[in-house]
Amino acid sequence: MLEDLIKERLKKKENLEKAGIDCYPAKIKKSHTVKEVLSGFVFLSLFKKKISIAGRITGMRGQGGIIFLDIFDGSGKIQAVISKKTYKAFSLYKDNLDLGDFISVEGTVFRTKAGQKSIRTENITLATKSLRPIPSQWYGIQDEEEKLRKRYLDVLLNSDVMDMFEKKSRFWNAVRKFLLDRDFIEVETPVLENTPGGAEARPFITHHNALDLDVYLRISPELWLKRLMVAGYPKVFEIGRIFRNEGMDAEHLQDYTQMEFYWAYADYNDGMKMVEEMFKFIAQETFGTLKFKIKDFDIDFGGKWEVYDYVELIKKMTGVNVLKTDIKEVEGKLKELGVEYDRHGFNLNRGIDNLWKFCRKKIAGPGFLINVPVMMEPLAKRSVENKNIVERFQVIVAGSELGKGFSELNDPIDQLGRFNDQAKLREAGDEEAQMKDDEFVEALEYGMPPTCGFGMSERVFSFLMNKTVRECQIFPLMRPKK
């Protein structure tokens, strides 16, 4: 029973404390990481350099008057050998150390008769006494919910999971490096807002006690970043958390990390060119390849990126011309295709979006979706050739959207009209329609240069890993245990 194992460990802790050992010291000796010891093994062995390493005991074996301990410190694992002949406190530690304890060992390196790189231990310092046994590395944690709830154990027991989060760090560092190398400056904008905007999503609401007013958690930093274009910055970006009070599935969560950049005097054609370069750079820096297996698709980011026409694609796959349709035709087509959709707040925009989602599942990519109707995108500039569509592009990979950008709408009169159209949709029950932001319109009235913007979230990383976005969050939100 777990309770009995905990009692046994508490007794061992008591034994150690009676011997004058601090089970939770503030500092211990550590001259090298395990990785440094292994890479410099020949030098350390040749000159009999005394070293100290610290880490968690992940393996224990006894053989007469010798103990073999496997020590893992996050950089690697090495064996520590402790002999009764050379270490006075041998019996104390032999009887009271457990798997999971953190220790520091001092000594010199050598190879065992079996050729294993090891440390001949001269001194041990207990760093942390573990009171709960760690699940067996052989079986790990089998329950998927429990893995996510106790992700710290999942990482500890599964090197693939640890490697995944190291890759995720490289992923965001690659994004940051790509933009910084092109003279973008990184900024931070508010998370709490009076009016959420920049995307079509239902926001979270909270209360600001000091100001005694209800505020929203941002659904996008877009409108703040575009204010900085008004301020005169030519290139800005932000990597930060956003919050959307919507459903959960393999591709969507309620709080996640997103990157958005804004580039003055560029349009969506410039944006598509740079985003293609960015995706290739990120993939190569993070994974060392441009070829991926995602869902049932073989994706090559180094190949030709296709361009897909939103209007023509939907017309070809469903027979509906989205520029000339009405809600009756769209709803009828959705029923005919067997597409499930949310009837709450349903309108023409939502209906067309559901048609598109039906179509996109068949597109492998990589490529860009363009020529979206004006009514579908209230923040993008109208096309010069066709005022009924906007200069928007979306990255399409493995049947999903992995980022969106456009030539930003900088006409304040047009922007106000689009906000008013969105407000009517909200009044009719569409909770995801954008809120009217008069302060943003006022900022545009001072003048914003022609600008290209683009945003993508950590969903890109989860796709490259070919895993759900929840699996790729280090600590996803979980229901409390009852």
The answer on 192 and 47 residing in a single domain is no
Q: What is the CATH number of the domain that holds 242?
A: 3.30.930.10
- Identify which of 332, 322, 354 has the alpha carbon closest to the alpha carbon of residue 341: 354
Flag whether 290 is in a domain. yes
The answer on 181 and 265 residing in a single domain is yes
What pLDDT score does 140 carry? 57
The answer on 104 and 199 residing in a single domain is no
Flag whether 287 is in a domain. yes
Flag whether 227 is in a domain. yes
The answer on 99 and 164 residing in a single domain is no
Q: What is the CATH number of the domain that holds 16?
A: 2.40.50.140
The answer on 251 and 103 residing in a single domain is no
pLDDT at 308 over 60: yes
Percent of the chain with pLDDT over 70: 99
The answer on 196 and 296 residing in a single domain is yes
Flag whether 324 is in a domain. no
Would you tell me the crossing angle of helices 438-445 and 222-231 to the nearest 10 degrees?
A: 20
The answer on 116 and 15 residing in a single domain is yes
- pLDDT, tens digit, 9 for 90 and up, residues 108-166: 999 999 999 999 999 999 999 999 998 875 455 667 888 888 999 999 988 999 999 99
Overall domain count for the chain? 2
pLDDT at 482 over 80: no
Does the pTM surpass 0.95? The reply is no
Flag whether 273 is in a domain. yes
Flag whether 107 is in a domain. yes
Q: Are 337 and 344 in contact (CB under 8 A)?
A: no
The answer on 245 and 170 residing in a single domain is yes
The answer on 70 and 160 residing in a single domain is no
**SS3 assignment for the chain:** CHHHHHHHHHHHHHHHHHCCCCCCCCCCCCCCCHHHHHHCHHHHHHCCCCEEEEEEEEEEEEECCEEEEEEECCCCEEEEEEECCCCCCHHHHHHHCCCCCEEEEEEEEEECCCCCEEEEEEEEEEEECCCCCCCCCCCCCCCHHHHHHCHHHHHHHCHHHHHHHHHHHHHHHHHHHHHHCCCCEECCCCCEECCCCCCCCCCCEEEECCCCEEEEECCCCHHHHHHHHHHCCCEEEEEEEEECCCCCECCECCEEEEEEEEEECCCHHHHHHHHHHHHHHHHHHHHCCCEEEECCEEEECCCCCEEEEHHHHHHHHHCCCCCCCCHHHHHHHHHHHCCCCCCCCCCHHHHHHHHHHHHHCCCCCCEEEECEEHHHCCCECECCCCCCEECEEEEEECCEEEEEEEEECCCHHHHHHHHHHHHHHHHCCCCCCCCCCHHHHHHHHCCCCCEEEEEEECHHHHHHHCCCCCCCCCCCCCCCCC
The answer on 208 and 86 residing in a single domain is no
Flag whether 230 is in a domain. yes
The answer on 162 and 83 residing in a single domain is no
> Beta-carbon neighbour count of residue 236 at 10 Å?
26
Flag whether 354 is in a domain. no
Range of the domain at 388: 155-305+365-465
The answer on 192 and 127 residing in a single domain is no
- pLDDT, tens digit, 9 for 90 and up, residues 403-428: 999 999 999 999 999 999 888 888 88
